[in-house]
Structure 1
Amino acid sequence: MLGIIRDCTVQHAKQTEHVDWFMGLPELMAFISITIMRGIIRVPSLRDCWSKNLGSPQIIETMSRGRFQNIMHHLRFDDRDTRSERAQTDKFAAISNIWGLFATNCITSYIPGQHITIDEQLFLSKTRCCFLQYIASKPDKFGIKFWVACDLKTKYVCNILPYLGKDDTLPRGERVSESVVMRLMEPFLDKGRNVTTDNFFTSLSLAKRLLSRNTTILGTVNKIRKEIPPSTRQMYRDEFTTQVFSTIGATLTVYAPKRRKTVYVLSSMHSTIQTQDTTKKKPNIITQYNTTKCGVDVMDQMVREYTVRAEHGAGQ
């Protein structure tokens, strides 16, 4: 990966500056180290990172600010001479080679535990491209959406896929949500693991597909799914009620924690449902879901906490 980034960056510098521009792997690693350090010390301005008062001695001693900015200006991840040709069949052509290697390294470098969480994540970007997303509910409204699978215990990114818009290769009748989960989980199936999802992904058909690969699912279900019994969709319910519906290989729990709110949770890892001996009578399936759903959320918080994104302004 480093070799590809170095070669593409040097190529771009030579083509644009028309000079004998060079960068070795040690210098590229130093550049990446400074980028990581900026996320740790959280100084938004590049100029301040090299200042005597706000800057870090490790950054100052590693590389000059001018050289860091020069490398960042030329930083590339693919051969731009062949990009237009590759872009005809690959929307992610500008980074797909490096991204594929990164995802492969994520898969092969760590063995996740029993529980894996799958969710979406929006990385801030305003680059003009056909798959840029606008999601009003996200802190960063514009960005590139990724499907992420995280280990629950460590919040390690086990696998990650970019969302590039409509997938014409998807088999007719197959849900995008099911395809995403099966692709993300493919390296980790047949090992007795459990995957936790939200109501965008969870369905009975997905639960059956995962069970056939010795993998269970635990997730909230959208009330419009066909597997939700019509009798449970009423909006007005008594407080703290629980209904359980068993189907082939899975259990659907309908929990009403309060009036005007009903939660539907599908699980293929629970054969029996128990409720707490408290006023709320919360079923164990709800407690289990709340415990295992946070993998991607915590990872997203860590990305934001240690962001390396520079603020706009002087010195950038």
Structure 2
Amino acid sequence: MLRRNPIDFFNLIWSDEAVQKISKNTDLITRSKIEQNQENLKPHSRLRKWSSPSKADIRRLMGIVISMGVIRLPSITDYWSSNNVLCIPFFREVISRDKFWNLHVADPLPDNVSYPSKSYKIQWLLDHVNMRSQELYEMGQNIAVDETMVKFKGRIGFRQYNPKKPTKWGMKLFTLADSNTSYMWQQNLYVGADGRETELSKCAQHVLDLVEPLSNLSHTVYADRYFWTLGLAQRLIDSGFNINGTVMPNRKGFPQRLKSAKHMKPGEIIAFRKDDILMLQWKDNRVVTMITNNCRSDEWCTIKPKNPNHDTRNKPKCIADYNKHMNGVDVNDQLCTYYL
């Protein structure tokens, strides 16, 4: 069997074409800066030493960025420090500090030209990663949709704040991942309202955008209460998907009984059906409301507790399936945080 190294898998996503584009963008942007500030450049400015980067330089940049996620220092300049305490020879040997600061991934566009979208400068990069991710992997039966926050405190027009997330400030992406392997299959960057006219909520539309390439392949889509509406559920079923997820009981079209379930007893279950869609409410420690089309209200699962001293518990099958398959995006986010 052929043995693969991590760099082989890295190169599957970051092909020579993508690296060459980054190299070209870097050269164009830097030379534009030099032309605009030619008269004001200081004698020892790093821009005076500029030379066009090679593909090898760009790959060194990527390696440095990943290494910075593993080796944490107070500031970026410390990685090239000559201080005996902070000095890490590896970084200076791989790439100079001045060249590191000049490398870019953005698409160059003059300041006097209006941008097609707020994400225009990096959109090509997102599209490339999504394209390669989809070409290299066939999604399993169960897929999960969720929000992802990428930590960022810089100045951009689409930075988001979400106090309920571990990463509160940053860029928000809607992510589609395989529930079993946590493989990220597609991510769409949220940059605000896009002006599209749709009968569905904006969050529901993001779900449709993510799963559209997988229509009529009988995948089961898992998502949380932030996304689900009856309209989204029906659109997905019509497109050949199965659905499962928690849902807010006050959504439009839900039975009034589900909206006033404060006095339910532990273990009590309430269920309604509209065509193929099952709306189910069950009380454990708190009331949980589910929406699904691939489970019945009388299907139960026996759950073994993690603590052997606790008794086994019975849960509706749709809730057990949701707990098992919804964490695909969360695991992917957890793995990424080790390097951010």
Superposition TM-score tier, normalisation by shorter sequence: 0.7 to 0.9
Q: Which amino acid aligns with 2:300?
A: T
| Residues 77/288 of structure 1: CA separation in 2 closer, same or farther (3 Å cut) | same
How many angstroms does 1:174 deviate by?
2.5
**Contact 1:146 1:162 (C-alpha < 8 Å) held by counterparts:** yes
The match for 2:184 is 157
How many angstroms does 1:83 deviate by?
5.7
Q: 50, 57, 72: which is aligned to 1:27? A: 57
Note the 1:292-303 alignment, pairs <5 A.
Answer: 292-303=325-336
The match for 1:6 is 23
Note the 1:202-241 alignment, pairs <5 A.
Answer: 202-232=228-258, 233-241=260-268
How many angstroms does 1:237 deviate by?
1.5
**Contact 2:200 2:231 (C-alpha < 8 Å) held by counterparts:** no
Note the 1:115-154 alignment, pairs <5 A.
Answer: 115-154=142-181
How many angstroms does 1:143 deviate by?
1.1
**Contact 2:80 2:92 (C-alpha < 8 Å) held by counterparts:** no
| Residues 305/49 of structure 1: CA separation in 2 closer, same or farther (3 Å cut) | farther
TM-score by structure 1 length?
Answer: 0.85
| Residues 33/244 of structure 1: CA separation in 2 closer, same or farther (3 Å cut) | same
How many angstroms does 1:194 deviate by?
0.8
How many angstroms does 1:94 deviate by?
2.1
The match for 2:197 is 170
For the aligned residues, what is the CA RMSD? Answer: 2.5
**Contact 1:244 1:273 (C-alpha < 8 Å) held by counterparts:** no
How many angstroms does 1:188 deviate by?
1.6
Residue 235 of structure 1 aligns to a residue whose secondary structure is coil
- 1:85-106: CA deviations, max 9, x gaps? 242x311122112222222222
**Contact 2:159 2:171 (C-alpha < 8 Å) held by counterparts:** yes
Structure showing greater radius of gyration is 2
| Residues 156/54 of structure 1: CA separation in 2 closer, same or farther (3 Å cut) | farther
TM-score by structure 2 length?
Answer: 0.79
The match for 2:282 is 255
| Residues 276/22 of structure 1: CA separation in 2 closer, same or farther (3 Å cut) | closer
The match for 2:317 is 284
Alignment pair present for 1:113 and 2:140 = yes
Higher relative contact order (Cα pairs below 8 Å, separated by 6+ residues): 1
Residue 29 of structure 2 aligns to a residue whose secondary structure is helix
Unaligned 5+ residue runs, structure 2? Answer: 1-17, 35-46, 303-310
How many angstroms does 1:236 deviate by?
2.1
Alignment pair present for 1:70 and 2:95 = no
**Contact 2:200 2:232 (C-alpha < 8 Å) held by counterparts:** no
Count matched residues: 298
- 1:43-69: CA deviations, max 9, x gaps? 335535888888878x458614xx1x3
| Residues 134/250 of structure 1: CA separation in 2 closer, same or farther (3 Å cut) | same
| Residues 79/244 of structure 1: CA separation in 2 closer, same or farther (3 Å cut) | closer
Q: Which amino acid aligns with 2:73?
A: P
| Residues 298/84 of structure 1: CA separation in 2 closer, same or farther (3 Å cut) | farther
